[in-house]
Amino acid sequence: MDTSTRCVPKENIMKARKYSRDEYLKKRVQKKLKELKDEIVDEPFLFEGVKKLTQLEQHEFKTKKQIYEISKNMFEEEHDNNNNDYYKVPYGYDDERGLNHEKIFSHGPKFESKDMKHECDEFVFEDQIDFVKAMIMDGENLEQDQTRIQESKSDLEKQLQEDRKTLPIYQYRDALLQAVSDHQVLVIVGETGSGKTTQIPQYLHEAGYTKRGKIGCTQPRRVAAMSVATRVSKELGVKLGHEVGYSIRFEDCTSEKTVLKYMTDGMLLREFLGEPDLASYSVVMIDEAHERTVSTDILFGLVKDIARFRPDLKLLISSATLDAEKFSDFFDSAPIFKIPGRRYPVEIHYTKAPEADYLDAAIVTALQIHATQPPGDGDILVFLTGQEDIETAGEALKHRMRGLGMKIPELIICPIYANLPTELQSKIFEPTPEGARKVVLATNIAETSLTIDGIKYVIDPGFCKMKSYNPRTGMESLLVRPISKASANQRAGRSGRTGPGKCFRLYTAYNYYQDLEDNSVPEIQLTNLANVVLTLMSLGIHDLVNFDFMDPPPSETVIKALEMLYALGALNSDGELTKIGRKMAEFPIDPMLSKMIVASDKYKCSDEIITIAAMLSVGNSIFYRPPKDKLVYADNARKSFHEGNVGDHIALLNIYTSWKDTGFDSEWCYDNYIQFRSMKRARDIRDQLQGLLERVEIQISSNSQDFDAIKKAITSGFFLHSARLYNSGLPSSSLYRTVKHPHTVHIHPTSGLAKEFLPRWVIYNELVLTSKEYMRQVTQVKPEWLNEIAPHYYQLKKV
DNA sequence: GAGCACTGC
C-alpha cells in the first residue's frame, strides 16, 4: 500500500469519485446510448447497448461495470413503470465483469489461497480483488467450546459452576493465586474468551483477599462493567448490587456489602478524588489496559505511585499480547502471566496489489464472498470509516445486488454506527433468515464496543477516523488514517468468535508489516487535557511535567491546559489550585463549562446554565441529520429555537425547556429532528450537575428572562474563545478573527447566527477544522463584558 | 451552506 495516497482525506477521494469521474462518465454514456438507441431494437436494449458502448468507449473508460451501471440507471429511469423482471440479467450476456453466472463461472480464480481457490472457482468479477492467504491466527482450546450449552433454569447455577471450570483460565487458578501472592504488581496477558475478567476477581475473593478490602476491576466501557458484574453475580449466586456490584456514571449499583466492584476506568479516577490512597481496596485490576483510554493512562501513573506506599495493595494489569512487555517495563519489570484465549482460527488474506479505492474494493470483496460461499455459512462484517462511507457502500451494494438478479441469495445490508437511532441499530442483532446472508457495514464501533454473533468474514480496508488536536490553535479535526497492526488484528479476531473465520485485508502483506504502526497512538497524546490536568491538580499533583506517564502527552498540550486553567482563575500564580478551581474540579465536565457554572452563582442563573452546560457536553449529536430530501425541515426546526437571534447557547436552552414542557416526550424529539437519546443523556448530565451544585454550595437560581445575565455567565467560562468580525464593511463577508491567537475563522453554517445577522463580537464553544475552520455554537457578546469579566486577560488588549 | 470515528466522568 502506498501510504501517501492512502492518507488522502476521504473527502477528496469521494469528491473525485462523485463529481468528476462519475459525472463525466455518466454524461458520455448517456449521450452515446441515445445515439445508439435507434440502432438497437428493443430486446435487451440495455445489454446490447452496453456491448456496443464498451467497444466504442474502451479507450476512455476503465471498466465495463461502470458503463453497465450508468446505462442501467438510465434504463431504469426510462422504464420506471415497467415490469421489474426486465432488469434481470438476460441469459447469454457476455461480460467478464460477471453479470452472467454461467459465463463467469468459466473464468479462473484470482485468489491464491487453496481453499478459496476451490470455492471461488466459478465466480469471478472483472474488478475482482486478488488476495493472498498469508497466515492463520491460531485458535486455542477449541474442544472445550463444545460444552457451552444453555441448561434449564433449575440447573442453571450448577451449570454456571461447570462452565467456570471449562474456561481456559481455570487450569491456571493456583499458579495465578501464587503469582499474586508473590508479587505486588502482575501483568496478565489473556486474550478475549480466556475468562480473566469474570474469574480472576472471583479467585481472589475465594482466596480471601476481600477480607482486607474490596476488589476493584475497571473497564473502559459502561456496558462492559454492567454485563460482567451481572454475569459474576449469577456465578456466585448473589443479588447484583450486594456482594457483586458495579459503578458507572449516573448509576451506582453497589452497597456496603459489595466486595467485587466492577466500574468504568473514569469512575475509579473520580474515586481517587475522595480517597487518594484507595484505602478501601485490597486489589485493583485494570482490565483491557491495551485500549489505553485517557483514564487508564492516568490510572497507571496513580496506582503505580500509591503501590509504593501501600505494599498490601495488589495491582493487576490485564492486556492483550502486543503491549505486555511495555506494561511490564512501566511497572518496574513486573512479571507477565500468560493465559491462553479461546478463539477459533482466522485466515488472513491480503491483496496482491494495493487498492486505490477502498470503498469500491470493500463492496466488490463483500459481493465476491457472498457469491462464492454458501449462504448459511456466516455473515460479513465490513469496517468503514464513517456514516457517509456506510451510506454510500449500502447504496452501491443494493444496486449491484439488483444487477445480479435472482440467481444469488438474498443479502441483508445492516448499517451500524454510534449516531444511528437506536431502533435502527437493533437490526444487526436480528438472526439472519434461512438462505440469506447479512452484511454489516460498521464503523470502529464493531471493533471493541459491540459484538455481533455469526460473523465469519471480516473485510478490513485498513482505515479509521482519528481525532487530532492542535494545542496551539485549540482546533480539533477528524482525519482518515491507516489503522495500526493491533487494530488490524482486533478486527480480524472479530471473525473468529463463533467458528473459524476469514479476514480479507484490502492492503498488501508488505503494507501490513512495513507501513502500519504496531500500536495506535494512545488517546492521551491526541486530546485536549484541560480536564485531566484539573483532576490531577485537585489530587495534589502539581508537577505534571514529571508525572509518570507511560507515554507522556506533548508538553505543549499540558502547558496549554495550565494556561487555560490559570486564565480561568482555577490556578493562582504559584500554580496552586484556587477556591474556584477546587469547585470546578467537582464537575465531571470541561473546565470552561465548569467555570461557567461556578460563575453562574453571581448572575443568579445557575438553573439555566447547568442546562446549557449539559447540552453542550452532550456534544454535536443533538440534531438528527436526515437524508437530503428532509434536511430542509430539520433546518427549519432548528431555526425555530433561535428566534430573535438569541445565539446558539440560548437556543440549546430553548430546546431543553421545550422538551421538558412536553414531559420529556420522545415524539416531540422526532417531530423536531432531535435525537431522543442525546436529550436523555443531557437530562442525566443535568441532574448530576444539579446534585453537584449543592456540594460546592451554589444555590439553584433561575433567571430565564435575563439573557444578558445568562450570556455573561457563559462569557465567564468562554472569554478565551472570543472572536471579532473582521472586514465588517463587506456585507457578504463572514470572516471572524479569534482574539487569543489571531486566526481567521467562520461561523459554522448550522449556527443560528450564520446567515441572518453577524454580530461584531462573539464567543464560541469550540473550533473545528473540516472544509474550513469553523466556530461551533456561537453567541453574541458585548465587548465591554470581556473587560468586565476577564480584566486580567483583556486589560492590555484593545477591545 | 455544511458533513461529527469511538469512549468516559
Of the two residues A496 and A348, the one the predictor is more confident about is: A348
Contact A394, A413 (CB under 8 A): yes
Q: Which residues in 312-341 of chain A line strand B, with CB less than 7 A from it?
A: none
Contact A687, A607 (CB under 8 A): no
The nucleotide minimizing the C1' distance to residue A223's CA is B7
Q: What is the mean pLDDT of residues A129-143?
A: 59
Q: How far is the CA of A153 from the C1' of B4 (A)?
A: 45
Whether the per-residue pLDDT at A161 is higher than 70: the answer is: yes
Q: How far is the CA of A85 from the C1' of B5 (A)?
A: 40
How open is the CA angle A686-A266-A300, to the nearest 5 degrees? 160
CA atoms within 13 A on the CB side of A70: 24
Is the CB of A251 within 7 Å of strand B?
Answer: no
Residue nearest to nucleotide B8 (CA to C1'): A266
pLDDT for the residue A28: 55
pLDDT for the residue A319: 87
Of the two residues A180 and A545, the one the predictor is more confident about is: A180
Please name the residues in contact with A711: beta carbons below 8 A apart, sequence gap of 6 or more. A647, A649, A650, A779, A780, A781, A785
Is the CB of A535 within 7 Å of strand B?
Answer: no
Backbone angles phi, psi at A434, to 5 degrees: -55, 135
| Three cell numbers written together for A787 | 473587560
Of the two residues A160 and A277, the one the predictor is more confident about is: A277
Whether the per-residue pLDDT at A341 is higher than 90: the answer is: no
Q: What is the mean pLDDT of residues A91-110?
A: 24
Of the two residues A407 and A772, the one the predictor is more confident about is: A772
Q: Which residues in 95-154 of chain A line strand B, with CB less than 7 A from it?
A: none
d(CA A442, CA A561): 34
Q: What is the mean pLDDT of residues A310-328?
A: 87
pLDDT for the residue A30: 60
pLDDT mean across residues, chain A? 78
Is the CB of A425 within 7 Å of strand B?
Answer: no
Q: What is the mean pLDDT of residues A683-704?
A: 90
Grade residue A672 by pLDDT with cuts at 50, 70 and 90: confident
DSSP β-bridge partners for residue A766: A776
d(CA A602, CA A597): 10
d(CA A96, CA A189): 49
CA atoms within 13 A on the CB side of A60: 15
| Least confidently predicted of A10-14, A106-110, A451-455 | A106-110
Q: Which residues in 455-494 of chain A line strand B, with CB less than 7 A from it?
A: 464-467, 478
d(CA A620, CA A467): 15
Whether the per-residue pLDDT at A7 is higher than 60: the answer is: no
pLDDT for the residue A157: 72
| Three cell numbers written together for A117 | 481457490
pLDDT for the residue A790: 86
Q: How far is the CA of A210 from the C1' of B5 (A)?
A: 40
**Span A697-708, pLDDT tens digits:** 898 998 888 899
Biggest CA pair distance of chain A: 91
**Enclosing H/E stretch for A338:** strand A336-339
Q: Which residues in 626-645 of chain A line strand B, with CB less than 7 A from it?
A: 628, 631-632, 635
Task: Give A109's DSSP letter.
Answer: P
Closest to A323 measured CA to CA, from A512, A173, A477, A518: A518
| Least confidently predicted of A9-13, A33-37, A659-663 | A9-13
Whether the per-residue pLDDT at A491 is higher than 70: the answer is: yes
Q: Write out the DSSP string of A471-502.
A: TTTTEEEEEEEE--HHHHHHHHHTTSSSS-EE
| Three cell numbers written together for A788 | 468586565
Contact A352, A361 (CB under 8 A): no
Contact A138, A109 (CB under 8 A): no
The nucleotide minimizing the C1' distance to residue A771's CA is B2
**Enclosing H/E stretch for A283:** strand A281-286
pLDDT for the residue A298: 93
The nucleotide minimizing the C1' distance to residue A468's CA is B5
Q: Which nucleotides of B are covered by protein (CB under 7 A)?
A: 1-9
Whether the per-residue pLDDT at A89 is higher than 60: the answer is: no
Q: What is the mean pLDDT of residues A368-391?
A: 87
Of the two residues A30 and A250, the one the predictor is more confident about is: A250
d(CA A529, CA A469): 10
Please name the residues in contact with A246: beta carbons below 8 A apart, sequence gap of 6 or more. A225, A226, A228, A229, A240, A253, A254, A261, A262, A263
The nucleotide minimizing the C1' distance to residue A617's CA is B9
Contact A597, A689 (CB under 8 A): yes
| Three cell numbers written together for A86 | 426486465
Task: Give A577's DSSP letter.
Answer: B
Whether the per-residue pLDDT at A144 is higher than 90: the answer is: no
Q: How far is the CA of A713 from the C1' of B4 (A)?
A: 27
Residues A7-26: b if buried by 16+ CB within 10 A, e if exposed = eeebeebeeeeeeeeeeebb
The nucleotide minimizing the C1' distance to residue A445's CA is B6
Radius of gyration, CA atoms only, chain A: 29
Is the CB of A8 within 7 Å of strand B?
Answer: no
Q: What is the mean pLDDT of residues A421-427?
A: 78
d(CA A130, CA A107): 14
Of the two residues A38 and A272, the one the predictor is more confident about is: A272
Residue nearest to nucleotide B1 (CA to C1'): A749
Whether the per-residue pLDDT at A715 is higher than 90: the answer is: yes
Q: What is the mean pLDDT of residues A229-244?
A: 90
Is the CB of A602 within 7 Å of strand B?
Answer: no
Q: How far is the CA of A573 from the C1' of B9 (A)?
A: 28
The nucleotide minimizing the C1' distance to residue A447's CA is B6
Is the CB of A388 within 7 Å of strand B?
Answer: yes
pLDDT for the residue A647: 87
d(CA A324, CA A762): 49
**How many CB atoms lie under 10 A from the CB of residue A531?**
22
pLDDT for the residue A381: 93
Grade residue A356 by pLDDT with cuts at 50, 70 and 90: confident
Is the CB of A422 within 7 Å of strand B?
Answer: no
Closest to A770 measured CA to CA, from A477, A480, A526: A477
* Interaxial angle between packed helices A606-618 and A591-603, expressed in degrees from 0 to 180 and rounded to the nearest 10: 160
Of the two residues A733 and A404, the one the predictor is more confident about is: A404
Grade residue A29 by pLDDT with cuts at 50, 70 and 90: low
Closest to A217 measured CA to CA, from A232, A206, A207: A232
The nucleotide minimizing the C1' distance to residue A420's CA is B4
**How many CB atoms lie under 10 A from the CB of residue A312?**
10
| Least confidently predicted of A28-42, A473-487, A489-503 | A28-42
Please name the residues in contact with A472: beta carbons below 8 A apart, sequence gap of 6 or more. A556, A560, A741
pTM (predicted TM-score): 0.78
pLDDT for the residue A460: 93
Contact A580, A594 (CB under 8 A): no
Q: Which residues in 572-601 of chain A line strand B, with CB less than 7 A from it?
A: 588-589
| Least confidently predicted of A398-402, A618-622, A795-799 | A795-799
Of the two residues A300 and A165, the one the predictor is more confident about is: A300
How open is the CA angle A709-A712-A718, to the nearest 5 degrees? 150
pLDDT for the residue A344: 82
d(CA A769, CA A767): 7
d(CA A178, CA A197): 18
Residue nearest to nucleotide B2 (CA to C1'): A749
**Span A427-466, pLDDT tens digits:** 788 888 888 888 999 998 888 888 888 889 999 999 988 8
Q: How far is the CA of A417 from the C1' of B3 (A)?
A: 15
Q: What is the mean pLDDT of residues A654-674?
A: 89
Is the CB of A531 within 7 Å of strand B?
Answer: yes
Grade residue A575 by pLDDT with cuts at 50, 70 and 90: confident
The nucleotide minimizing the C1' distance to residue A589's CA is B9
Whether the per-residue pLDDT at A497 is higher than 70: the answer is: yes
d(CA A505, CA A459): 6
Is the CB of A223 within 7 Å of strand B?
Answer: yes
Q: How far is the CA of A449 from the C1' of B6 (A)?
A: 8
Q: How far is the CA of A755 from the C1' of B2 (A)?
A: 13
The nucleotide minimizing the C1' distance to residue A626's CA is B3
